Structure 1
Amino acid sequence: MNSSTSAGQAEGGALPEQIVHEEKAQLDFSQSMSYGDYLHLDEILGAQHPLSPAHDEMLFIVQHQTSELWMKLMLHELTAATAAIANPSENTKPEAFKMLARVTRIMEQLVGAWTVLSTMTPPEYTAMRPYLANSSGFQSAQYRCIEFALGNKNAAMLKPHAHRPHLLSMVDAAWRRPSLYDETLRLMAREGIAIPADKLERDWTQPYAASEGVKQAWLTVYRDPKAHWDLYQLGEKLTDIEDAFRLWRFRHVTTVERVIGFKRGTGGTGGVSYLRKMLDVVLFPELWALRTEL
């Protein structure tokens, strides 16, 4: 074979001009869906509309928009995992564990996002703050649904959404549903672990209150993990979620204090003072309390 011919041939015997023709065909997306079409990037990347002349407002907008996207995925996973736990089969429990692990990883992304926002200094935030009016992350309907899904129920938190009927409907439905932890306790009861009756049927709109009986139920699981392996794994998945959620809340507090100090929040809350109170909320109290007794 002629050496120049073999050198000019590509894998499979294709000549360079054939490769160029094929690449041009592959790069022509005029007749098919492209990456940008699939992800609706025109809409997403066109959704940033700063109101102030401040350079740093773009950071503020992108930070909160991306956080809302991550929260959308978190709710998608939490909703499906809770449904799988409420109606378990041999296959759905492992699926639920995977979804809950993903929730923890999403929270880690949200924790990291505060690190980016913390590069905004007080003068930079002050330059754009008047343009925010009363808008605040406190009004995030998705965040409220996450809190409700994890059991931190509070009827007062429906009020910020009263002016948006479709958002109010979404948040109200999350408020009325059993939380992830509620469904976990019901699963434990179905699997033969003694759970107090008042934890199996109650007013789901009320915040969960710690129970000695539930702690004893979890101790039964944790003292013999091999006999209750699925419930043991589930307990640890829930602990992972709360661990990550605490970090998320803590980074929120420290970032807000770093940027605005102790000024009141734009949404009318006490700002840092309000956020610090949220650090004391425990979502799955018995899973933390049992560790002292093991």
Structure 2
Amino acid sequence: MSPSAALARQERAERNRGRPTLSFDGATPYVRYGAVDTLLSLQRPNTDEPAETSFIITTQVMELLFALVRHEWEQARSALDADDVPAALAALRRGHAAQDVLVESWDLLSALTPTEFNRFRDHLGEASGFQSYGYRHLEFLLGNKSAAMIGPHRADPRVRAELERALGEPSLYDAALRLLHRRGLPVPAERVERDWTRPAEPHPQVVRAWELVYADDRPGNELLALAEALLDTAERVTRWRHRHLMAVKRAMGAKPGTGGSAGLRWLRGNVQQDVFCELWQLRTGL
């Protein structure tokens, strides 16, 4: 905080006698800073069904939170690349807070009945959350890599380029394993340098490396703190996927999804995929 800015705020408060400023030329600074007018112009229901507004706003809130989580995970990955575990932990903790809000965002749709959904579902056309490039970025950062998943975005050069770059970069978990390797833990060579565009298969040596981390549970073991923070991240991803599954099950049952998927069957497959699976596997052997 600059001294001059702090002094200006103090002088303003004194001129206002402690009350907020009530007069501005044009839009308030708050509206300008947050682009609030633009934000509130983006809710455009296609029907008269009141629940559609909740559906649209929930979708938009989630997209904003996807962007925030992506920002924090990328910050954490960069910090791990720089061997700065405390900075990585701080970014992951901020990400946890955003993930918690993401999970709870499903509450906005928890009361959506099948009848209400049916009154506007046809107006979605083929629109589906599966097509969210913000969410796809998160899956790539988790290590759930698939070049085919860029397909829906081929017609958008900017988005396609961003996803292709994310596909070819190490994931957040890859960055953690590379850090363990640099710290002398037995992470196998094929997990340190490999084709980042493909998902990695679970490896017993990676499980062993994490077991060695957990063997030292004294306070101050930053690698153990990192492992637990990554697991906190993974668990929140699964919670979000499960809430998605239950929201769909409640609103439309086992009908096919709007985006061409089998609906519940597709979502159940996602819920059953462990995130950072070796961190879960080691628990059986400890």
Q: TM-score, normalised by structure 2?
A: 0.91
Aligned to 1:60: 55
Find the aligned partners of 1:244 and 1:141 in 2 and give their Cα distance: 20
How far 1:173 moved relative to its partner? 1.2
SS across alignment from 2:221: helix
SS across alignment from 1:56: helix
The correspondence of residues 151-162 of structure 1 with structure 2, limited to 5 A, is: 151-162=143-154
Find the aligned partners of 2:252 and 2:131 in 1 and give their Cα distance: 18
Is 1:37 the counterpart of 2:32? The answer is yes
Instruction: Tell me which amino acid in the other structure corresponds to 2:173.
Output: Y
Aligned to 1:79: 74
CA RMSD of aligned residues (A): 1.9
Aligned to 1:6: none
Aligned to 1:229: 221
Give % identity: 38
Provide Cα deviations, 1:205-226, integer angstroms capped at 9, x if missing partner.
1112100001111111101133
In structure 2, the gaps of 5 or more residues are: 1-13
Check conservation: 1:221, 1:228, Cα contact below 8 A: no
Q: CA 1:220/1:56 → structure 2, altered by over 3 Å: closer, same or farther?
A: same
Greater Cα offset, 45-54 or 225-234:
225-234
The correspondence of residues 19-38 of structure 1 with structure 2, limited to 5 A, is: 26-30=21-25, 34-38=29-33
Find the aligned partners of 2:182 and 2:159 in 1 and give their Cα distance: 34
Aligned to 1:175: 167
Greater Cα offset, 47-56 or 29-38:
29-38
How far 1:283 moved relative to its partner? 2.1
2:280 pairs with one of 275, 288, 293: 288
Find the aligned partners of 2:153 and 2:19 in 1 and give their Cα distance: 51
Aligned to 1:98: 90
Find the aligned partners of 2:204 and 2:195 in 1 and give their Cα distance: 19
Is 1:111 the counterpart of 2:98? The answer is no
How far 1:53 moved relative to its partner? 2.0
How far 1:33 moved relative to its partner? 5.4
Aligned to 1:195: 187
Check conservation: 1:182, 1:199, Cα contact below 8 A: yes
Provide Cα deviations, 1:55-77, integer angstroms capped at 9, x if missing partner.
11100100000000111110111
Check conservation: 1:155, 1:205, Cα contact below 8 A: yes
Find the aligned partners of 1:268 and 1:195 in 2 and give their Cα distance: 40
In structure 1, the gaps of 5 or more residues are: 1-18
Residues paired across the two proteins, number: 273
Aligned to 1:267: 259
Find the aligned partners of 2:20 and 2:234 in 1 and give their Cα distance: 50
Instruction: Tell me which amino acid in the other structure corresponds to 1:59.
Output: S
Is 1:247 the counterpart of 2:242? The answer is no
Greater Cα offset, 44-53 or 251-260:
44-53
Q: CA 1:34/1:193 → structure 2, altered by over 3 Å: closer, same or farther?
A: same
Q: TM-score, normalised by structure 1?
A: 0.88
Greater Cα offset, 154-163 or 39-48:
154-163
> Whose radius of gyration is greater, 1 or 2?
1
Q: CA 1:212/1:48 → structure 2, altered by over 3 Å: closer, same or farther?
A: same
Find the aligned partners of 1:284 and 1:124 in 2 and give their Cα distance: 38
Find the aligned partners of 2:42 and 2:27 in 1 and give their Cα distance: 25
How far 1:34 moved relative to its partner? 1.6
The correspondence of residues 130-169 of structure 1 with structure 2, limited to 5 A, is: 130-169=122-161
Instruction: Tell me which amino acid in the other structure corresponds to 1:252.
Output: H
Find the aligned partners of 1:58 and 1:32 in 2 and give their Cα distance: 26
Greater Cα offset, 78-87 or 31-40:
31-40
